[in-house]
Amino acid sequence: MELADLANLAQPPHLRTLFADDPRRAERYVFKVADLRVDVSKQRITDDLVGSLIELAQSAGVEQRRDAMFAGERINVAEDRAVGHVALRMPADSSFEIDGVNVVPDVHAVLDAMAVFADRVRADDRMTHVVNIGIGGSDLGPAMAYQALDAFRHGRIRCSYVSNIDGADIAGVLADADPASTLFIVASKTFGTIETLTNARTARRWLVDALGEQAVPDHFVAVSTNAERVADFGIDADNNMFGFWDWVGGRYSVDSAIGLSLMISIGPDRFREFLSGFHVMDEHFRTAPLTENVPVLLALIGVWNANGLGFDTKAVLPYANELARFPAYLQQLDMESNGKSVDLKGQRIGHDTGPIVWGEPGTNGQHAFYQLIHQGTRIVPVDFIGFARAHHDFQEHHDLLIANLIAQSEALAFGRDNRSEPWRHFAGDRPNTVILADQLTPSVLGQLIALYEHIVHVQGTIFGVNSYDQWGVELGKELANQVTPELTGSPDPGAHDSSTNALIHWYRTHR
């Protein structure tokens, strides 16, 4: 079975027919993994089709590449690196070897240092505001998780996240900050990311203007691997720098030192629960047979939707306001990983790769884009995410929220026949998955993130791409470094195309 063969497989009948012909469909296509209940019964699949998809996974080497990742092999071939994010959440007595060295003790040494620091900040009544300065994985992960785990936050400490080079981003945070009670975390592996360092220098000037140069060591810490640059900035690299490793990609790093702001917010014990959620999903992915492996099955269904049925987007719709940033987090995880057009050997790919991922929390989206996903000409597969219990006391609100989740899943799948009034006709047969858990906890959030991480890994294997590099972010940044001095008058632009030259000239006359 090859990826190209998917287009030749017979499409299943309408979901109405599939359910009518199989009274046990809703039981057979529901899977339990850790704390998650995953219902794929409303996907356009049959037993025969799933069998073909399993054959595809086997022929693509999904098991072998999974095992190679867990063995610490250098599966990131473009950068000749291991892919070790699963080591970040292993128990202290585990082993994960890279080049013959068990990295788990180093991981726990950093976690222990983070815990000591987090406890110190949480005990210091003077500190009430933590500002994380990063971009990409150094921002999206901790910002998403901080919002998701709102119910577990420290009562005194709030966190803000600055990532955009647009000065409005940091201006808004500093306008609402008190220098004496603010701690800045500068998160940059190389300590050279231009967006992050520009924002960090602005924050440093703001602090120095208020408190003087001597305040910098007490109000800045770094998450980085470049001790020299960190020290040049004025941060104590020996005590206030928390490291991570080149085998951790940015979009896979929220459970590393990049999550320091989250650990300060929810505390070291809750952060360890967060890590344990990742690990239980890792173990399921590592050990479960393909026919029962939930990340593998969800990945295969996604490949079927995209490459078999031609549905080129996927909406992730959490019915939990705390997960409002989860779709944006998954955008980076999926599209930066699998948005590639060359394979592992550098050859041009002739098939579609990763889907376009998007979404908003329910029920807001119902009054925006649900019109298209119900009655539009483009079919959009959907992942619904919801929880049995909320962290607030407004039970009537929560009942209505989950009623909407269940109703939307039903409506998309089965529609409503009303051909006498075509504008009220709902064709249905719109595939969707429903993921439920009792409550959104640190462990459950870790499980959800790891679930999608492994989906991306499996799909990247089937697409034949390297899910662990991101060269596509480089060209625009390189050109921006060239354009920046040209905007201020020196040198004079002229080496670009006529449109770009005109844009530079326009800005120079209007800035």
**How many Å apart are CA 419 and CA 133, to the nearest integer?**
55
What is the DSSP annotation of 70-94? HTT---BTTTTB---GGGGGS-TT-
Catalytic residue, from 2, 213, 292, 477: name it: 477
Catalytic residue, from 336, 360, 453, 486: name it: 336
Q: Which two tokens stand for residue 387?
A: 């929880």
367 is catalytic: yes
What is the rounded radius of gyration, in angstroms, for the C-alpha atoms of the chain?
24
Catalytic residue, from 32, 345, 367, 510: name it: 367
**How many Å apart are CA 232 and CA 192, to the nearest integer?**
12
Sheet (strand 182-187) strand order: 158-162, 129-133, 182-187, 220-223, 241-242
**How many Å apart are CA 357 and CA 353, to the nearest integer?**
12
**Selection from 275, 271, 258 nearest residue 161 by Cα:** 258
**How many Å apart are CA 346 and CA 20, to the nearest integer?**
47
What is the DSSP annotation of 390-420? -SSS-HHHHHHHHHHHHHHHHHHHH-B--TT
Helix (H, G, I), strand (E, B) or coil at 131: strand
**How many Å apart are CA 305 and CA 44, to the nearest integer?**
8
55 is catalytic: no
Contact 362, 321 (CB under 8 A): no
Q: Which residue has the tokens 């070897």?
A: 97
- Catalytic sites, residue numbers: 336, 367, 477
